[in-house]
Chains A and B, each alone.
Chain A
């Protein structure tokens, strides 16, 4: 099985962490986003959507991290512990509820904060306007509030006593703004305690390994500068930043 990944990307991290944590062997195929490799001809043959992660299992190609995670759980059912994606109807529904909600909430807002801080000056040639940054931070705050108040509440993990795909997908998204110097966990005692539990379950070494790229993201602008695809990327980012 091949996994096309760039660990700067949150959904790539969740897939990477899961496969490693449960011991599913795979070949790591790096697609460097900052260098525009997702626009290469070769990668276009793998996935026309030109996003990461992508899984290639034999001749079967699958995009979308949530779908990839669900596929891996189902395929390796006999060796993957139940808690990741429980067979129990209501528990599974809780995982699905989180995995669905997060796309347009924590994922969107965490990404936006990260992109504004890490990419705006490079793409737009000026500092991020304060009101834009404040609006993005407000949205992120609301998502983090909902994560704490609705999804976690007073439980150790999202579905209760055990770690699941929901916690994995959540934690990698919160780490994104952290990577550009914004400690999204600051002042959130409950969330910090949850993060530490998740880290412990996954293995600290593995967690840190997965987050190495994002924590060293200060080198991103230099890679972007030499990116021959930068001209193509600029309008896409400009649209996002408007």
Chain B
């Protein structure tokens, strides 16, 4: 089984962590987003949507991290707590996995692009009002994550970590990669992060986040010419 990944990308990290943690055998196929490798001919055959992550299991190709996580959980019969069979716990997790696409995922990504990639790689200045607006949205999502999804529980679905926490943590980490410490002033979120790290294993967590946390430095060393063709698309999306 092959997993097409770039650990700069949040949904790639959740899939990578899940497969690694559960000892699911896979071949790591690196696709460099910064170099536009997702637009290559070969990758197009794996995933027409041209996004990461992607899975190839024999003849079967699958896109979308949520779909991949659910597929792996079922196929490899991972421990129940990741995606419980219980109707209500599963529903809570599904609720989070659905909500997050247009909330924390969108807002955390935007922050990362506006703070780091757009100015440093695309060389475009980002107006302060856009940054302020993006921060407002991100804060709104983080507030809902704390108050509606985590509340006073150890994890989103209750006593145990699940796919919901995994998908959440990689998204919350994204703005951190651009130098914004979202955990500062959020003791509840920080405590949840610590629990998630312990449940995943600090070594695996750090391994998965190494690229991201080195981003501020690595972008200065990058050959930014390769990203320029993406410029109009990115600016349309985020600006």
Nearest-CB distance from A227 to chain B (Å)? 22
Number of interface residues of A (CB under 8 A): 30
Partner-binding segment picked from A12-20, A67-75, A174-182, A216-224: A67-75
Q: Which residues on B sit within 8 Å (CB–CB) of A135?
A: 236
**Interfacial residues of chain B within 89-112, with CB under 8 A of chain A in the complex:** 90-91, 94-95, 97-99, 101-102, 106
A65 to B97, CA, bound (A): 11
Contact with A93, one of B48, B49, B67, B91 (Cβ below 8 angstroms): B67
Partner-binding segment picked from B56-64, B117-125, B180-188, B217-225: B56-64
Q: Which residues on B sit within 8 Å (CB–CB) of A149?
A: 48
Contact B87 A74 (CB under 8 A): yes
Contact A150 B88 (CB under 8 A): no
Task: Judge if B148 is at the interface, Cβ distance under 8 Å.
Answer: yes
Q: Which residues on A sit within 8 Å (CB–CB) of B101?
A: 100, 103-104
Residue of A nearest to B103 (CB): A49
Q: Which residues on B sit within 8 Å (CB–CB) of A99?
A: 66-67, 98
Task: Judge if B2 is at the interface, Cβ distance under 8 Å.
Answer: no
Nearest-CB distance from B116 to chain A (Å)? 21
Known: A49-B144, A103-B102. A64 touches B67 (CB 8 A): no
Task: Judge if A101 is at the interface, Cβ distance under 8 Å.
Answer: yes
**Interfacial residues of chain B within 28-75, with CB under 8 A of chain A in the complex:** 48-49, 60, 62-68, 70-71, 74-75
Contact A48 B147 (CB under 8 A): yes
Contact A70 B94 (CB under 8 A): yes
Contact B102 A70 (CB under 8 A): no
Task: Judge if A81 is at the interface, Cβ distance under 8 Å.
Answer: no
A62 to B91, CA, bound (A): 8
Q: List 7 A-B contacts (CB under 8 A).
A: A49-B99, A67-B94, A93-B67, A93-B71, A96-B71, A100-B65, A146-B49
